[in-house]
Structure 1
Amino acid sequence: MTDDRKTTVPVWTLATADVRVPGLTAGESMTAERLTELRGVLAVLADEPIVTLEAHPLPAKIDRAKGLPLDAASPLAQHLSQFITQSTRSSLTAARATASGENLYRIVVPAKVAAQLGQGTIRLMEPKGAAGHVFGDIVNTTTGRIAAKASLVPVGGAAAAGTVGGAGATAGAAAAGGTVLTVAAPLVLMAVAVGVSAHADHKRQQAIEHITELLEQLQQDKLDDEHSALNGSRAAIDKATAILLDEGKLGVSLGLDSAVHTIDTALGKADLRLARWQSALDSLPEGEAVELDTLTKSFPGVGDHGGTFRAHLELASLAIALMRRVVILQAVESAQSDSGNPFKNFTRALKRDQQRLDEMESSIATVLVRLSALELASPNGLRPVFTTGEVERLMRAAYRIRRLGDGVTVNNRTTDVAIEIARSKDGSVVVFPALPA
């Protein structure tokens, strides 16, 4: 639902550790563009990650099924509720904006920090027909439409969210005056972890849909088995996610170890296939047209609607999406085991473990771009004239191969990351997949 009403909403600046920055003016209205500038300044000048939190009216229609639900007793919901309660005591704007108990909270993580989450985790979305531009309005995650045209009012002197213990040991109150920011590491950590995990699960769902369609056409038992094994690991990951987000401890009985082994095996197969694809492309004569039959020997079905090559691509995407969720779990566990600076531990663990996945995604993207740039040659043969069917097959194949490069980003430009959280009156929340801000 599009809501073009101008709404005044509060915005808080949250730090993940005790940090000072040049004075911030509290209580003055600003535009979305001005807020973007403020984020950039904070990212450059602050020694620790600083995010902004906005509280928007909850859209009348919102598809909660697209997010990860957490009940009111979950740490993230509790951190958010405590933050709201303490903030409304010192800000009339915040009190009015959150009075209904139902809001869409939007946390924006600066690009400087988002880069540490892995470049393949969040892709920059460019609107069609406007290359080089990004969406600048406040967008509802579930519909992709503008949720509100908002005037933003910075709220200063708010108390921090969270309680000491678990991932929340660094939470503390911020002093008023605009130079010391709210320290809310637990809230930021949990929001980022759930938002990025939801994004990875959304990618998993997309891959599953594509794989199911492709395997129905191919009817290959080996690919079916590979798909089933990968999809079967989801249950263990879901259980582990639920436990860690409740600040619990992972146990062997969850089956996460066997799930990780299955995913690692799939990633190993994807690595092997990727190496073969790269070798096949390197062996092609540079600058010369390639026959379709020659190309299909290394890329089976590349010119068809389905094909084994496309199934292998989707299986690789599924394995990467599942492993990204595992990496997030490992990062959260690492952060919770050392409460000294949970968010820094979290981003450090993510950055280290995401590198392999980022490199694989980038390499697959490069293969697709190289394939899409190939020129198909006419079939060799003694006949000077080809049938209408042969010509149509070649034209269809050329079109499908060119389309392989659509939407592919080899070197993803770092962007701010937004995580939207829908909060209900009972305190429960739904966290939507993280998206470019």
Structure 2
Amino acid sequence: MINYRKAAGVPVWTLATGDVQVPAVAGDKPMTAERLGELRSVLAALADAPIATLEVHPLPDELDRGRGIPLDAVSPLAQHLSQLITQSARSSSTAATATAAGEGLYRMVVPAKFAGQFGQGIVRSMAAKGAAGAIRGPLVNSAGTIAGAAKFVPVGKAAAAGAVGGAGATAGATAAGGAVLTVAAPLVLMAVAVGVSAYADHKRQQAIEHITELLEQLHEQKLEDEHSELDGCRDAIDKATAVLLDQGKLGVSLGLDSAVHAINTALGAADRRLARWQSALDKLPDGKPVEIGTLTESFPGVDDQGGTFRAHLELAALAIALKRRVNVLQAVEHAQSDPGNLFESFVRALKRDQQRLDELESSIAGVLTRLSALELARPQGLMPVFTTGEVDRLMRAAHRIRRLGDGVTVNGRATDVAIEIARDKDGSVVVFPALPA
């Protein structure tokens, strides 16, 4: 959690990915967090090109860096950020003071209008343990909100000027009616790409943990093989990520092609299972209770903590998470091949591939919602009285099936997306998973 008492004002840059024209709505006086959010929404509504804000906060004493993706000081993202800091410190006393230590926690927020272009389901809340509704992230407290009453100070006109490097990429200041935006497409592109990739990898880790636990109970060799094949894709994806984020070229030796084939195969299996689940639900009588035995024929283990059905759900979640990482890689590669049109290329390439994943994820969520709404019938038998064990099993099954709908989001609205970047004194950075802002 940020301790705002360490800084009198929080510098905030308004970043644009293109030369946009907007009226003067920012001003140069300190703003509250609420006012900054309003400003971001207004600018997003007025601008055609994606706009983001970038804040710098003191680096927290305790920070779980293992959740993020580390990049050294010579990586493009770290260099873009360093050059922006250098330019800003020359002309803004607030920025110079806040960045003098060389380290800090930078928070980039992309408005919902543009964040939605990355894919409807690509960023979801990650619940923190022990606090209902809390979100994991270094900038939030146990209640899930930004702490303190910080004053955000817009960085001035001169700070926006200058180049923010990158292959073929340019940056500078654009002004209209007194509003000044830093044109920094490479910085926004790389921050979004790494933050989304880190988020997808976090989801992969969650799925791996769940699958491992389930398969230890099931002892199903076929599911073990599916799991192993998917988990084996990580090495190729990690290497491809490292190469692309250093603006290198992907080669056949990385093994990404075979990894993509394995992921697509797993997605095909998820599609087939989804079709069977939907068909089974469609065959159930409307408004009538369903026996456990009937339900477990199509959803084996649905009434238990483990079970094949739950393993299939986690395998689908793993395949989706891996595919999202691959989609980001392909989008970055496409964007870097067209350096004069970085962000639009990135969005186009990413949006095409995200649609199928969004639909698959939404359809699975729909199955879980329908299952959770089912009413279980008493088992049919010759005896009119049921044992205590049978009653207990029915109650446990009903509770577990109802809980299938917990936390399920179907066709969720896009929210502002925050990407948090920890910068060390040597210029290296760690980019944390993208979060709803």
Tell me if the contact between 2:160 and 2:181 (Cα under 8 Å) persists in the aligned partners.
no
Tell me if the contact between 1:2 and 1:145 (Cα under 8 Å) persists in the aligned partners.
no
Q: Alpha-carbon deviations, 1:70-103, whole Å to 9, x = none?
A: 0001000000000000011110010011111111
Q: Alpha-carbon deviations, 1:34-77, whole Å to 9, x = none?
A: 00110110000012111000011111111111110000010000
What CA distance in whole angstroms lies between the structure 1 residues aligned with 2:163 and 2:259?
A: 32
2:78 paired residue number: 77
Q: Percent identity, please.
A: 74
Letter of the 2:287 counterpart: G
What CA distance in whole angstroms lies between the structure 2 residues aligned with 1:430 and 1:18?
A: 29
1:267 paired residue number: 267
Structure 2 residue 337 is the aligned partner of structure 1 residue 333: no
Unaligned runs of 5+ in 1: none
Tell me if the contact between 2:56 and 2:105 (Cα under 8 Å) persists in the aligned partners.
yes
What CA distance in whole angstroms lies between the structure 2 residues aligned with 1:205 and 1:142?
A: 23
What CA distance in whole angstroms lies between the structure 1 residues aligned with 2:141 and 2:334?
A: 29
Q: Alpha-carbon deviations, 1:270-299, whole Å to 9, x = none?
A: 000000000000000000000000000000
Unaligned runs of 5+ in 2: none
2:10 paired residue number: 9
1:169 paired residue number: 169
**Distance change in 2, residues 1:288/1:262 (3 Å):** same
What CA distance in whole angstroms lies between the structure 2 residues aligned with 1:142 and 1:102?
A: 24
2:24 paired residue number: 23
2:258 paired residue number: 258
**Quick check: 341-350 or 363-372, which moved more?**
341-350
Tell me if the contact between 2:11 and 2:153 (Cα under 8 Å) persists in the aligned partners.
yes
Tell me if the contact between 1:139 and 1:148 (Cα under 8 Å) persists in the aligned partners.
no
SS at match of 2:361: helix
What CA distance in whole angstroms lies between the structure 1 residues aligned with 2:161 and 2:354?
A: 30
What CA distance in whole angstroms lies between the structure 2 residues aligned with 1:339 and 1:418?
A: 24
SS at match of 2:430: strand
Letter of the 2:379 counterpart: P
1:312 paired residue number: 312
Within 5 A, what are the aligned runs for 1:24-423?
Answer: 24-124=25-125, 139-140=139-140, 146=146, 148-157=148-157, 158-159=159-160, 163-166=164-167, 168-174=168-174, 178-423=178-423
What CA distance in whole angstroms lies between the structure 2 residues aligned with 1:113 and 1:14?
A: 13
What CA distance in whole angstroms lies between the structure 2 residues aligned with 1:355 and 1:160?
A: 37
Q: Alpha-carbon deviations, 1:357-405, whole Å to 9, x = none?
A: 0000000000000000000000011110111111101110000000000
Q: Alpha-carbon deviations, 1:138-165, whole Å to 9, x = none?
A: 9349996746541101112123575555
Tell me if the contact between 1:7 and 1:148 (Cα under 8 Å) persists in the aligned partners.
no
Q: CA deviation at 1:188?
A: 0.3
Q: Alpha-carbon deviations, 1:220-251, whole Å to 9, x = none?
A: 00000000000000000000000000001101
**Distance change in 2, residues 1:7/1:66 (3 Å):** farther
Q: CA deviation at 1:106?
A: 0.3
Q: Alpha-carbon deviations, 1:89-131, whole Å to 9, x = none?
A: 1100100111111110000001011111111111257899x99
What CA distance in whole angstroms lies between the structure 2 residues aligned with 1:244 and 1:436?
A: 25
Tell me if the contact between 1:11 and 1:52 (Cα under 8 Å) persists in the aligned partners.
yes
Tell me the TM-score normalised to structure 2 length.
0.94
Q: Alpha-carbon deviations, 1:150-202, whole Å to 9, x = none?
A: 11011121235755553x52323446974241100000000000000000000
Q: CA deviation at 1:413?
A: 1.5
What CA distance in whole angstroms lies between the structure 2 residues aligned with 1:87 and 1:197?
A: 28
Tell me if the contact between 2:134 and 2:144 (Cα under 8 Å) persists in the aligned partners.
no
Tell me the TM-score normalised to structure 1 length.
0.94
SS at match of 1:340: helix
Q: CA deviation at 1:414?
A: 1.1
User: Please, what is the CA RMSD of the aligned residues?
Assistant: 2.4
Letter of the 1:375 counterpart: E
Tell me if the contact between 2:2 and 2:57 (Cα under 8 Å) persists in the aligned partners.
no
Tell me if the contact between 1:4 and 1:148 (Cα under 8 Å) persists in the aligned partners.
yes
What CA distance in whole angstroms lies between the structure 1 residues aligned with 2:350 and 2:201?
A: 16
Tell me if the contact between 2:106 and 2:420 (Cα under 8 Å) persists in the aligned partners.
yes
Tell me if the contact between 2:15 and 2:51 (Cα under 8 Å) persists in the aligned partners.
yes
Letter of the 2:14 counterpart: T
**Distance change in 2, residues 1:150/1:432 (3 Å):** same
SS at match of 1:30: coil
Letter of the 1:291 counterpart: E
What CA distance in whole angstroms lies between the structure 2 residues aligned with 1:142 and 1:387?
A: 45
What CA distance in whole angstroms lies between the structure 1 residues aligned with 2:2 and 2:53?
A: 23
What CA distance in whole angstroms lies between the structure 2 residues aligned with 1:143 and 1:430?
A: 24
What CA distance in whole angstroms lies between the structure 2 residues aligned with 1:124 and 1:305?
A: 24
SS at match of 2:405: coil
**Distance change in 2, residues 1:83/1:188 (3 Å):** same
Tell me if the contact between 2:211 and 2:311 (Cα under 8 Å) persists in the aligned partners.
yes
**Distance change in 2, residues 1:359/1:29 (3 Å):** same
Tell me if the contact between 1:87 and 1:94 (Cα under 8 Å) persists in the aligned partners.
yes
What CA distance in whole angstroms lies between the structure 2 residues aligned with 1:424 and 1:147?
A: 23
What CA distance in whole angstroms lies between the structure 1 residues aligned with 2:163 and 2:247?
A: 13
2:424 paired residue number: 424
What CA distance in whole angstroms lies between the structure 1 residues aligned with 2:50 and 2:172?
A: 16
